[in-house]
Amino acid sequence: MTDAALTSTVEPLARPQGWRGIAADWSSDQRAFKNVSWGKAMMWIFLLSDTFIFSCFLLSYMTARMSTTVPWPNPSEVFALTIGDTKIPLILIAIMTFILISSSGTMAMAVNFGYRRDRAKTAALMLATAAFGATFVGMQAFEWTKLIMEGVRPWGNPWGAAQFGASFFMITGFHGTHVTIGVIFLIAIARKVWRGDFDVERRGFFTSRKGHYEIVEITGLYWHFVDLVWVFIFALFYLW
């Protein structure tokens, strides 16, 4: 009974909308997020804190780039690849961007099939997302190797401002770590979906609580956030 009341995501009365709704939801010592479960709310709050972490990285990169008197290396040339005989600017990064966007698309559809309780499609789409993510990390490893071979270090590089290396390794490294964790998270949840844990209400290994298909959406929130951060890194670090 108490358990049902605590974890219930259903409100007994219709809630006001708009600004009136914000005031009503936040006031009077209630639970502020009415139709959102604690799991989803906590993922959103974690993502908010992660936003601040990435903001700090991008801000320190901006400060270093704006305040240096040495010219900043041109990312368009640094990240160019020679395919065949032609040198194409930034092509690797463009491909990585498309891969990550595709992974977001498959993830969004996995969430949809999850709520329809379509185990096979949900698990398959989640694994496809994980495969895209792993490809992305692989390409990032290739990119890092290439730059390190060319002499980029956190304290210097052959083309210009010394802070380029430090900013690059810090920002893309942290993002790559997030993608890697996401891939592991996806595989773990895909396994549970495939096994049917959420249909037979099998209790979790760590939490001993019954899982639910909502975890697919929560995993999705994390994954889309990783894609979202890449949108900002792509624009502000690679294209600027």
Partner 1 sequence: MTNVAVHLEGQQSLQTHAHDALASGATHTKGQQHPIKLYLVVWGWLFVLSTCSYLVDYFGLQGYLRWSLILLFMVLKAGLIVAVFMHMAWERLALAYAILLPPVLVLVFVAIMVLESDYTHLIRVIFFAAAT
Q: Is 12 or 84 the residue whose CB approaches partner 1 more closely?
A: 12
Q: Is 83 or 148 the residue whose CB approaches partner 1 more closely?
A: 83
Query: What residue ranges in the chain does DSSP mark as E strands?
Result: 81-83, 86-88
Buried b (16+ CB within 10 A) or exposed e, 3-21: eeeeeeeeeeeeeeeeeee
184 binds partner 1 (CB under 8 A): no
194 binds partner 1 (CB under 8 A): no
Within residues 93-132, the interface with partner 1 by CB under 8 A covers: 94, 97-98, 101-102, 104-105, 107-109, 111-112, 114-117
44 binds partner 1 (CB under 8 A): yes
Cβ 164 to partner 1 shortest distance, Å? 16
Residues 6 or more apart whose CB falls under 8 angstroms from that of 121 comprise 110, 113
214 binds partner 1 (CB under 8 A): yes
Q: Give burial (CB, 10 Å; 0-12/13-18/19+) of 182.
A: buried
202 binds partner 1 (CB under 8 A): no
Cβ 198 to partner 1 shortest distance, Å? 10
Q: Is 111 or 183 the residue whose CB approaches partner 1 more closely?
A: 111
Chain centroid to CA 98: how far?
A: 14
Within residues 68-97, the interface with partner 1 by CB under 8 A covers: 68-69, 76, 89-90, 94, 97
**What is the C-alpha separation between 117 and 38, in angstroms, rounded?**
21
* Listed ranges 50-58, 133-141, 170-178, 186-194: which one lies at the site for partner 1 (CB under 8 A): 50-58
Cβ atoms of 39 and 222 within 8 Å: the answer is no
Containing H/E element for 12? Answer: none
Q: Is 19 or 149 the residue whose CB approaches partner 1 more closely?
A: 19
